[in-house]
Chain A
Amino acid sequence: MKPLAWIGVAALAAVPLTGIGNYPLHLIIMCLLWAYVYTSWSIMGRLGLVSLGHGAFLGIGAYTVVMLWNHYGFSPWLGAPLAVLLSLAAALLIGLPCFRFRIVGHYFALVTLALSEVTRLVIVALRDHTGGSLGATPNTALAQGNTWSLDALQFSDKRVWFYVILAFWLAGLWIWARLDRSMTRLALDAITHEEDAAASVGINVTRSKLFVTLVSAGMTSVGGVLYAQYQLYINPETVSGIGISLQMVFGAIAGGMFVMLGPTVGAVFTLLLQEGLRLALGDAFKQFPALDLAIYGLMLVLFIIYMPKGILGAALEWRARRRATPAAAPG
């Protein structure tokens, strides 16, 4: 499997060298970016911490970096760590009381839902600084024919972004795999099912939960930074609030949050769905702006009922069963 994985990564890395057009390259970049974000979400989600509030971390990442650049001229190199710190603070604010007072399951999801809406509303309310629901554009550093500015982290060449985001996606998978093999994962699995017994064997329940929450939130806010710097346009609806939070949950669950590449498959699936819906429904979107959300919601319900392990999870299970059958019945 290992050499196959390297070949896959090498093939993916070679894509921009094939002279692929800007639009397909853009789609691949968005796939990788959302795959990274969904992977970040699933680090928590797979361990029973279902967050409907990751839009908050994405929004904090995106807006912090752009606001600091536009209003104070702080380079994103400085803005990004501050954005991560800010989102860690938000994660701590929501996580510590929740875990201390044992708010779990649906109740935890509801609390996080509030966080993402509060973030969106704050962004809209500070419209004098953030541009409100019209969104914001980072001041360009690419005047006078410059195609890139390292200081402003702006590159007009999509290929640069492709490699940057590819690297983050791989790093996200690496963190996922590291955590998967760690004692922390076992501990959190234990906590998910038997919180008291977990405490009795010496697991600090609050600290373990807080740890994965912080990892997940920090990674997601980096996703927000990348999104802002790549798209060069952010909007409260697209980087925070219930819509994007639900999309993360949907993507991770649809792909399969219990397997490493599940969220990535989910990102591809979501993107195809988005583009497909746009083509199929066309103008209907303009009349019913929340139509896509309604469809996500419906599909999420269907996935949870009929394919709780997601597309990749179900596919791997199916393959394992097919392999096991001939072995179980020799001759």
Chain B
Amino acid sequence: MLAVSNLSAGYGSFQALFGVSLEVRAGESVAVLGPNGAGKTTLLRAISKLIDASAGEITMEGARLNEVPAHEVIGRGIAHVPENRRLFPRLTVEENLRMGAFSSRKKFPERLKFVYGLFPRMEERCGQLAGTLSGGEQQMCAIARALMSGPKLLLLDEPSAGLAPVVVQSIFALVKRICAEGFTVLIVEQNVQQVLKVVDRAYLLETGRIKSSGDAAALAASSELKRAYLGL
């Protein structure tokens, strides 16, 4: 479904990604793991066109994404849940969800029903300003907002960041349910143990390069992972 080949990207003169290639097949859930500063967020920002790639190619269902402007990426079926949620704080939860369906407004009522079914907590909080939600609820709201566009591929950027351990558990349970609903998921995480229980496959990203990849279970047992994180 999504194919990234030899992607390089960065900010100004600073290069963060060096020839990264990866693939996400339909129905799959894939993780990109790596320590701080490995380029995980940059990778997702490049896929959703918030930054331009300096080299390489990104294709979604065979169609090249490189020249597509950021606001049209969602029309290709890719929804991005950004790092630190990035909700619209002065809008209510429901208005945030309405914005999530900005590109397909006619489907708003039916999608809202679907999303409220998935997140009953969001329905309880529908009139509350998004900026006043708790951290876990904000993460839920951010995921719900992304689902409102009816995406084929969901990009999740560190959904567990800054949340209490108990809440992290519930967020990963939620990610698992979203995968089970048939969404294809590309998730970027530092919380290796948890995320490997949720995804099918994973890539290991280190200083902007893919160091290894494989089945979640195999990677969990591999020494590469320990080396990347612990320097062993």
Q: Confirm or deny: A27 has a beta carbon within 8 angstroms of a beta carbon on chain B.
A: no
Q: Confirm or deny: A261 has a beta carbon within 8 angstroms of a beta carbon on chain B.
A: no
Q: Residue on B with the closest CB to A197? A: B86
Q: Is the CB of A201 within 8 A of B90?
A: no
Interface residues of B in 77-130 (CB under 8 A from A): 79-80, 82, 86-91, 95, 98-100, 102-103, 105
- Asked if A200 meets B99 with Cβ closer than 8 Å, knowing A189-B88, A190-B91, A194-B86, the reply is no
Residues in A neighbouring B82, C-beta threshold 8 A: 196-197, 200
Q: Kindly count the residue-residue contacts between A and B in the assembled complex, taking CB atoms under 8 Å apart.
A: 67
Q: Is the CB of B80 within 8 A of A200?
A: yes
Q: How many residues of B contact A (CB 8 A)?
A: 29
Q: Residue on A with the closest CB to B145? A: A201
Interface mask (A179-195 → B, CB under 8 Å = 1, otherwise 0): 00001001101100110
Residues in A neighbouring B69, C-beta threshold 8 A: 204
Q: Confirm or deny: B182 has a beta carbon within 8 angstroms of a beta carbon on chain A.
A: no
Q: Confirm or deny: A205 has a beta carbon within 8 angstroms of a beta carbon on chain B.
A: yes
Q: Is the CB of A202 within 8 A of B86?
A: no
Residues in B neighbouring A186, C-beta threshold 8 A: 91, 95, 98-99
Whole-angstrom CA separation of A199 from B149 in the bound complex: 13
Whole-angstrom CA separation of A183 from B105 in the bound complex: 10
Q: Is the CB of A183 within 8 A of B88?
A: no
Residues in B neighbouring A183, C-beta threshold 8 A: 98, 102, 105
Residues in B neighbouring A187, C-beta threshold 8 A: 99, 102
Q: Confirm or deny: A198 has a beta carbon within 8 angstroms of a beta carbon on chain B.
A: yes
Q: How many residues of A contact B (CB 8 A)?
A: 17
Q: Residue on B with the closest CB to A191? A: B88
- Asked if A201 meets B89 with Cβ closer than 8 Å, knowing A183-B105, A186-B95, A196-B82, the reply is no
Whole-angstrom CA separation of A194 from B75 in the bound complex: 19
A184 CB to closest chain B CB (Å) equals 11
Residues in B neighbouring A202, C-beta threshold 8 A: 71-72, 74-75, 102-103, 149
Q: Confirm or deny: A86 has a beta carbon within 8 angstroms of a beta carbon on chain B.
A: no
Q: Residue on A with the closest CB to B51? A: A196
Q: Is the CB of B91 within 8 A of A201?
A: no
Contact of B50 among A189, A193, A196, A204 (CB under 8 A): A196
Q: Is the CB of B102 within 8 A of A201?
A: yes
Whole-angstrom CA separation of A202 from B76 in the bound complex: 10
Q: Confirm or deny: B179 has a beta carbon within 8 angstroms of a beta carbon on chain A.
A: no
Q: Is the CB of B87 within 8 A of A199?
A: no
Interface residues of B in 41-86 (CB under 8 A from A): 45, 48, 50, 69-75, 79-80, 82, 86
Q: Is the CB of B88 within 8 A of A193?
A: yes
Q: Residue on B with the closest CB to A192? A: B90
Q: Confirm or deny: A104 has a beta carbon within 8 angstroms of a beta carbon on chain B.
A: no
Whole-angstrom CA separation of A186 from B98 in the bound complex: 9
Contact of A203 among B48, B90, B102 (CB under 8 A): B102
B79 CB to closest chain A CB (Å) equals 7
Residues in A neighbouring B70, C-beta threshold 8 A: 196, 199-200, 205
Interface residues of A in 76-119 (CB under 8 A from B): none
Residues in A neighbouring B73, C-beta threshold 8 A: 200
Interface centre among A183, A186, A193, A201 (most CB of B within 10 A): A201
Q: Residue on A with the closest CB to B148? A: A201
Whole-angstrom CA separation of A163 from B102 in the bound complex: 40
Whole-angstrom CA separation of A204 from B145 in the bound complex: 17
Q: Residue on B with the closest CB to A194? A: B86
Interface residues of A in 303-322 (CB under 8 A from B): none
Whole-angstrom CA separation of A198 from B88 in the bound complex: 8
Residues in B neighbouring A200, C-beta threshold 8 A: 48, 50, 70-71, 73-74, 79-80, 82
Q: Is the CB of A194 within 8 A of B87?
A: yes
Residues in A neighbouring B89, C-beta threshold 8 A: 193
Q: Is the CB of A204 within 8 A of B71?
A: yes
Interface residues of B in 136-157 (CB under 8 A from A): 145-146, 149
- Asked if A190 meets B88 with Cβ closer than 8 Å, knowing A200-B74, A201-B74, A201-B103, the reply is yes
Q: Is the CB of B90 within 8 A of A193?
A: yes
Q: Interface residues, chain B, CB within 8 Å of chain A?
A: 45, 48, 50, 69-75, 79-80, 82, 86-91, 95, 98-100, 102-103, 105, 145-146, 149
Given contacts A187-B99, A193-B88, 14 further A-B contacts (CB under 8 A): A183-B98, A189-B88, A196-B50, A196-B82, A197-B82, A197-B86, A197-B88, A198-B99, A199-B70, A200-B73, A202-B72, A202-B103, A202-B149, A203-B99
